[in-house]
Structure 1
């Protein structure tokens, strides 16, 4: 949406909150989006006049607890709370739910909810997934914590990588113009989380400021309203003011209360906030109407998942939700303002992850994003006599001799090229399907070592070849380090495959991205990450064990012998890609055209070309529901 239309759509918000603007503070982020500014102004406008009802939801529960609040009260809460999780598998806090969380947040926002997000961050010495007690509630030594606050240290670099995973999801909300109340390092004064209970300017508050700096000044997440949060003080929770990062880092000041709503807690928040909106970040039982009468400036509360009924009497739940002081989702005190914000909601196609990507790459990504259910781009590896697929697929080991012929063919007949980058083993130019020892692997990914320098030279040579496509104006679907999850069969894996964890296969993929994009200036690539079909072999792990992160991937591809009509492979893949385009490389017989019908989620496919399959291929590529080249 053009910027002048976005600004026009916020006129209604400005009218609604005009009376509060004179007294409300500006966002701490000077580059905050119009939507973030409007949300903060909205909270300022209702301070002292009402309280927004809110409900938290566990990552893997979707909207379960929000829907339950509606079932009980007949009212939808005005605030939808979510978490990014930390655990694995089917657990309620599973990180596998993150792509679905983004889509659910968009749905809730379109329905009129204020969005509030929390992140139970993994201890930076650990790798996701983790257990709550061992990592989120783990400890760092004083030395480790100071190293965490020191740029360039190993633990700082690990922290950056973990933070950037969450950035990948928040960036999607930013690009969709969804404002978010982001509660960073919550309950910071408590001794139960690894980030908390370190008072003073160089303790927990410094870590909060470090996160702010990375989110705002490095990644430009300007859609966030910054929510600082403490637990009700006493016992294992220290005095709130000892953990405050400063007025320049908090838009909203909040407290979590699981017990009595003491007046001293409320007064404490008002003193620290100094005119900023205050709120109840988490509650177990709801505050009574008597409490709200003497503590009128709480701007919202968020009941924790599963505790609404178990911690509040039934009559209190009804009384609070139906009180004139409470502001539910359809309340005229927020509904028109939220509707005005949503006029700038942008569900547009994703932008390439490469900064300053070429126009050709952006156009190709837009085509892929628009293709599902219409006409996936058809690709072929090998012979294409008698028809013109949109995508020409080829293997690429980094060498230049094969490039000229591919470029000529693409210019004449195709829209794009798909290159599968499967380089030789960097130790000795051995076959790609071979192994490195653990010692060699660690040497390879350690900057400055002899093996790392060999790898760097290998990548820079590949960059010279890829630059020829860039000069020719050809976008490349770049399938880098394929089959990193390991082959589903007994076939020998590639040397880069099957290594889990922070310094595993995903790390090498990120290293390749950084070298080609940031050092070598290759901007015409759409970065494709490939996985095989689900594997149930012992120790195989899940695709998330090898996924490099949304900041490094434009699209995700599955490689499989065939489309399985009984198993919706496209829906399985789409669950984990957070709206990124998905494709499939079929190594067996080509599918019939009807496999890519109106309910298909595939953006592109690649099939094997051979004379034996000529008739089936011609039928497939002649179908109106398959995109052919060249435009």
Structure 2
């Protein structure tokens, strides 16, 4: 097994339990000797703008395939009722699960290609799956009754025959044709991010952790795992045991994730009113004392006055009558005060971590644009107002300078601004045993801020293949596999669950030269600090 080149302090601080760095043999097309800029994080002071070098590239057509000439599964069929198509018609009829349109073609030269689909939808926005040679590469997301181009970029294809399959997810998609184009070279400037946190009073350990993230961004991926039991919970035990190999029932020699994910849900006033007892603060302190990175989300249970279902599920819109548009537009002052009360309660708890200088990758109000949580069951404008209110209260009123702000709204329309976000993330649950790098989502997320920020896979179901991430240039800063069945079952005996990621891929990931595990972390409390923003 190759040793990893993990970016550390200039003097390579010694630490028991991690390997000495050796030069990693990584694809030179995008791994660089220095990934950070020396300027401030204010976009007016020289951070790298999004989408720079790719703009100069001119893509060329490789092959064009008329969708009506493809093969059909289920209800899919050739149609002609929507005008504006090329050829003799288009492919439609995606209405039932399993319906699919398959297009085959030959590629003469291997490399990265852009798949440019010409499509339309019936009945507004629709999302549908796309597979290349049986591997999921993303979705066609469109809201247009007229035929419109939708591109999935940077898809690796070797020379020879290939199959692109469009399969029903939401359905009601009409596919006119597919143009396979030469792909742009990878834009290495994507990893040139700010060397400073947005908080001009960021704590020492927050600056140390952020410097470690910046130093490794584009080179290595930090392993992460959510576990309500903390850094040594059952998910961690299952991973350690499974990666230890044969003959080691207690997990000797196995690997542990470098980061633990925790939830502040049980600190919400509604949770406390109903007997909930939060333990994440103590577990965060314990994790940091054991040289483990901490990330936190908040499944915010709605104020009791707005409950219309079970309290413990009231972060879902179906279980609450809360109307965030009215609250943030000044039409429901009581609701506003209750949300402020809840934020005060969480800030008070997070202050315990501040007082011990435990840095936290803080990911509030996540997955908003999906609409399933109450903070996303509103306009983007109301969500942004709430996010910015929280940032102001936590940073300026409560002085929580230990927080590194991770935005995870999933859509550029819901982005709250470069000035209140350090890291941009996305959550991806692609199914079972889907090991692609998820490059399209990586680049889509990277392009949301005005200026480059670290990009993370803030939640995921199955792991991705690190070799594909290296090949594609989708070097997520870290990943955070969700807890429970995504890793282990609920039985008394802790065993690894292969439903989403099989054992071999788990071992490959945790032993990969470009994946950082807990034993390979430097002493984070002694790491060099990032400069403060000016």
TM-score normalised by the chain length of structure 2? 0.54
1:181 aligns with 2:352: no
8 Å CA contact 1:75, 1:321 repeated in 2 = yes
- Could you say which residue in structure 2 is the equivalent of 1:455? none
8 Å CA contact 2:365, 2:409 repeated in 1 = no
Which structure shows the higher helix fraction? 1
1:20 aligns with 2:196: no
1:211 aligns with 2:387: no
1:319 aligns with 2:508: yes
8 Å CA contact 2:205, 2:357 repeated in 1 = yes
* Mapping of residues 51-450 of structure 1, within 5 Å: 51-58=221-228, 63-73=233-243, 74-86=254-266, 96-98=276-278, 100-124=279-303, 126=305, 131-138=311-318, 144-148=324-328, 150=330, 153-200=333-380, 202-231=381-410, 240-259=411-430, 261-273=437-449, 274-293=451-470, 294-306=472-484, 307-308=486-487, 309=497, 310-331=499-520, 334-340=521-527
- Could you say which residue in structure 2 is the equivalent of 1:415? none
Aligned residue pairs total 315
SS in 2 for 1:272: coil
CA deviations over 1:495-522 (Å, ceiling 9, x no partner)? xxxxxxxxxxxxxxxxxxxxxxxxxxxx
8 Å CA contact 2:231, 2:287 repeated in 1 = no
- Could you say which residue in structure 2 is the equivalent of 1:368? none
8 Å CA contact 2:205, 2:358 repeated in 1 = yes
The verdict on how the C-alpha distance between 1:190 and 1:329 changes in structure 2, with shifts beyond 3 A counting, is same
SS in 2 for 1:319: helix
8 Å CA contact 2:217, 2:475 repeated in 1 = yes
SS in 2 for 1:275: coil
Deviation at residue 327 of structure 1 after TM alignment:
0.3
Deviation at residue 175 of structure 1 after TM alignment:
0.1
Deviation at residue 317 of structure 1 after TM alignment:
0.4
The verdict on how the C-alpha distance between 1:75 and 1:143 changes in structure 2, with shifts beyond 3 A counting, is closer
Distance 2:213 2:385 in 1: 26
CA deviations over 1:98-135 (Å, ceiling 9, x no partner)? 2x322221111111111000110022454899534444
Distance 1:61 1:335 in 2: 17
The verdict on how the C-alpha distance between 1:223 and 1:137 changes in structure 2, with shifts beyond 3 A counting, is same
8 Å CA contact 1:189, 1:198 repeated in 2 = no
The verdict on how the C-alpha distance between 1:289 and 1:34 changes in structure 2, with shifts beyond 3 A counting, is same
SS in 2 for 1:169: helix
TM-score normalised by the chain length of structure 1? 0.46
The worse-fitting range, judged by mean Cα deviation, of 21-30 and 147-156 is: 147-156
The verdict on how the C-alpha distance between 1:134 and 1:152 changes in structure 2, with shifts beyond 3 A counting, is closer
Distance 1:295 1:15 in 2: 28
* Mapping of residues 582-621 of structure 1, within 5 Å: none
8 Å CA contact 2:266, 2:277 repeated in 1 = no
Distance 2:10 2:354 in 1: 21
Distance 1:153 1:224 in 2: 28
The verdict on how the C-alpha distance between 1:131 and 1:125 changes in structure 2, with shifts beyond 3 A counting, is closer
Distance 1:185 1:297 in 2: 24
CA deviations over 1:410-440 (Å, ceiling 9, x no partner)? xxxxxxxxxxxxxxxxxxxxxxxxxxxxxxx
Which structure shows the higher strand fraction? 2
CA deviations over 1:346-397 (Å, ceiling 9, x no partner)? xxxxxxxxxxxxxxxxxxxxxxxxxxxxxxxxxxxxxxxxxxxxxxxxxxxx
- Could you say which residue in structure 1 is the equivalent of 2:60? none
SS in 2 for 1:254: strand
Deviation at residue 32 of structure 1 after TM alignment:
1.2
SS in 1 for 2:225: strand
Deviation at residue 297 of structure 1 after TM alignment:
2.7
- Could you say which residue in structure 2 is the equivalent of 1:507? none
Distance 2:456 2:216 in 1: 11
- Could you say which residue in structure 1 is the equivalent of 2:46? none
* Mapping of residues 573-588 of structure 1, within 5 Å: none
8 Å CA contact 1:51, 1:299 repeated in 2 = yes
Q: State the structure with bigger RCO (CA 8 A, min sep 6), 1 or 2.
A: 2
SS in 2 for 1:161: helix
Deviation at residue 50 of structure 1 after TM alignment:
0.6
CA deviations over 1:439-463 (Å, ceiling 9, x no partner)? xxxxxxxxxxxxxxxxxxxxxxxxx
8 Å CA contact 2:35, 2:214 repeated in 1 = no
The verdict on how the C-alpha distance between 1:163 and 1:142 changes in structure 2, with shifts beyond 3 A counting, is closer
The verdict on how the C-alpha distance between 1:59 and 1:152 changes in structure 2, with shifts beyond 3 A counting, is farther
Distance 2:285 2:421 in 1: 24
Distance 2:301 2:322 in 1: 17
Deviation at residue 21 of structure 1 after TM alignment:
5.5
Q: Which has the larger radius of gyration?
A: 1
SS in 1 for 2:478: strand
The verdict on how the C-alpha distance between 1:298 and 1:95 changes in structure 2, with shifts beyond 3 A counting, is farther
Distance 2:413 2:455 in 1: 17
- Could you say which residue in structure 2 is the equivalent of 1:36? 206
Structure 2: runs of 5 or more not aligned: 1-7, 13-32, 39-191, 244-253, 488-496, 530-534
